[in-house]
A and B are shown apart, each in its own frame.
Chain A
Amino acid sequence: MYQYDQLDQSIVEQRSAEFRAQVERRLAGSISEAEFKPLRLMNGLYLQLHAYMLRVAIPYGVLSSKQMAKLADIADKYDRGYGHFTTRQNIQFNWPKLIETPDILDDLAGVQMHAIQTSGNCIRNITTDPFAGAAADEEVDPRPLCELLRQWSTLHPEFAYLPRKFKFAITGSAIDRAAIKVHDIGLRLRKGSDNRPLTDIWVGGGQGRTPKVAQLFKQGVALEDLLPYLEAIMRVYNRYGRRDNKYKARIKILLAETGLEKLQEQVEAEFQSLDRTPFVNVAAELQRITENSLTPDYASHNESGELTNNGSVPHPEFDAWKQQNVKPHKVRGYVIAMVSLKPAGGIPGDATSRQMRELAELAVRYSHDELRVTHRQNLVLPHVLERDLFALWQALVEIELAEDNIDLPSDIIACPGLDYCALATARSIPIAQAVSAKIRATEKKTDLGGISVNISGCINACAHHHVANIGVLGLNKGGVENYQLTLGGRNDQNASIGERLGPGVSGDEVPHVIERIIDFYVDVRDAGESLSDTYDRVGKEPFKEAAYV
């Protein structure tokens, strides 16, 4: 993974010092809340229902053991002993104090972390495949490009005040684990004919009030042209994107209103006339980033004498976990181990400080010091020797993180909802808890792979409910929480937006409705069909009949 040099280090330290000065001005009353709010938001500090909330960037979801341990320390020292991992591969702390936030930022800077641009109308933290650099099916490792884009977008003066927030996602595999088609810009890295990486640029995906699947905007952009081309897109968006209505301000609306061809022309014109001198160092920088990144020394772990389950003792629980949570690695003898943060009845994405600290330890021992955060709010140990798996699993059981439900329906994405979020219209966490508690038992008996359940607490769709096989959206109907269901969404390379099933139901009914939908799917599915495949084949009506009794 990428290692800061002194300059990267200075910029996060300076930024933290700058925020400390801004907080002092606010406390002294020399700036009002109206003036201070955009400044704190640019540093990831929101004001929620009960307290401030600090969103810490985990650039492209990659964490070292040391960073994970520091997050645990922050949770204990300044918060309430836990953190919430988000769909943007970030972590949120729910109870920080304003007066302590500069100290938190200093602590983060100490481990090469920050909260820059985790909020506000700017380019947000860039997300990628949580298996980047490890996946067996990867064509191009997206991490150096992610880091280059992180640097380019950090404090970019032209893009600090966009019409609206702006999200990038990047993948380097044909199987899209980064949901690039529901981002403002999605980048698909692939190998060109001469083995040099090329990028396909997808534009205008997004969720929220008007969900859209991105359109293929430009194919086969060479790396040396990529940053200028992205800068051209950002300029055109900044120039023409709507500022009169925040619900129409995303680039997806500009694309819909301008039309693909016209927008491509505008971007092309900007790209052709753009001053390329700011980018003369890009190739050298990309090279430097690659050289400044630690690559695991895969051979070094080969001799480790860890406890292994050599199969002589049958262990069905371990086997089930391995079957569900372990994915192929590009290096022989290695695997990718996924850590579910979705215990039945638990809070999706939450981890206690103890769990974070133990995971940091396990990463030292078993995963070349590295961890990842997934956009499904789980964690990953990306480089584990297959022979260490049993020992790893045993250690995970100890800290209650061995739930074997990755990509099963109880692996629910849920946003904080009305329990924390000031924008929420309904709760989402308690619904997720009830649903997972209910379906976990069925899951253990029947194969329910290929069903995703995502629950958002308002139309902002932070939990990506539109692109779930089963999406749940919490609304407020006359002061009462009401939940709308959508079916048939997908967030992979075949991204699609789910369809609204019918009238909303109460929170208590949600688990039952979902269970009936799943039962119906199990009854009628063809071999290998996901719930969305079945939905596409049989249509809405039969699902609707099954769901509402």
Chain B
Amino acid sequence: MSDVVRLLKADGTVGEIDAKAVAMFASLEGETDPATLSVSDIDADILLIEFTGAADGRGFSLAKAVLGKMAYQGKLYAVGCINPDQLSMALQTGFDGVLVPAERWADYGAEVWKAALSPIVKLSYASTRSQGLQSIWQLRHGTQS
């Protein structure tokens, strides 16, 4: 059996993708300096940002830069060292979902992964791109942010 990677999307659907196909997607390491990127680096329908360490959140900033400044229009997925307790941050910063290798998927179990899509903490202060989360500043002041 070839390796299967789960694609857990923000909308709650779970897909399966062959690991070989995942390896073909355009991909950036989380620590990439956005200043060094050009539009051609992100010219893709699917772009992956890889978290290389559990204690490194630079991929979240990179997501914001790619979606904001660089106006990337395709799908953005997180891969690598990202666990269910970090999923909410990924959604807030604009990821459309997370790609989880079979072993990591089984480690936590499908239920934990899916539950992480509707986190208990449903609020953040500053802006959020997540459907499931609300920005307190936006709720208070009604302004788009």
Contact = CB atoms under 8 A, between A and B. Distances in A.
Q: Are any A and B Cβ atoms less than 8 Å apart in their complex? A: yes
Interface of A: 5, 7-8, 10-11, 14-15, 17-18, 21-22, 25, 30, 35, 38-39, 121, 151-152, 154-162, 235, 238-239, 243, 269, 273, 275, 277-282, 284-285, 288
Contacts of B109: 30
A159 B69 CA distance: 19
Given A7-B139, A158-B60, A239-B61, A38 B55 contact: yes
Interface of B: 31, 33, 35, 53-58, 60-61, 64, 68-69, 83, 85, 88-90, 92-93, 108-109, 112, 119-127, 136-141, 143-145
Contact of B55 (A39, A161, A279): A161
B81 to A, nearest CB: 10
Contacts of A279: 145
Given A121-B55, A238-B58, A152 B141 contact: no
Given A35-B83, A238-B61, A281-B137, A156 B55 contact: no
A496 B28 CA distance: 43
A275 B122 contact: no
B86 to A, nearest CB: 8
A473 to B, nearest CB: 28
B140 A269 contact: no
Contact of A277 (B55, B119, B121, B145): B145
B32 to A, nearest CB: 9
B125 A157 contact: no
B93 A157 contact: yes
A159 B125 CA distance: 13
Given A7-B139, A30-B112, A162 B57 contact: yes
Contacts of B145: 277-281
Contacts of B83: 35
Contacts of A280: 143-145
Nearest to B93: A157
10 contacts: A7-B139, A10-B123, A38-B55, A157-B60, A157-B93, A161-B57, A239-B61, A277-B127, A281-B138, A285-B141
Given A7-B136, A22-B85, A281-B138, A243 B56 contact: yes
Given A22-B85, A39-B85, A158 B61 contact: yes
Given A7-B140, A14-B122, A39-B85, A275 B55 contact: no
A281 B68 contact: no
B121 A15 contact: yes
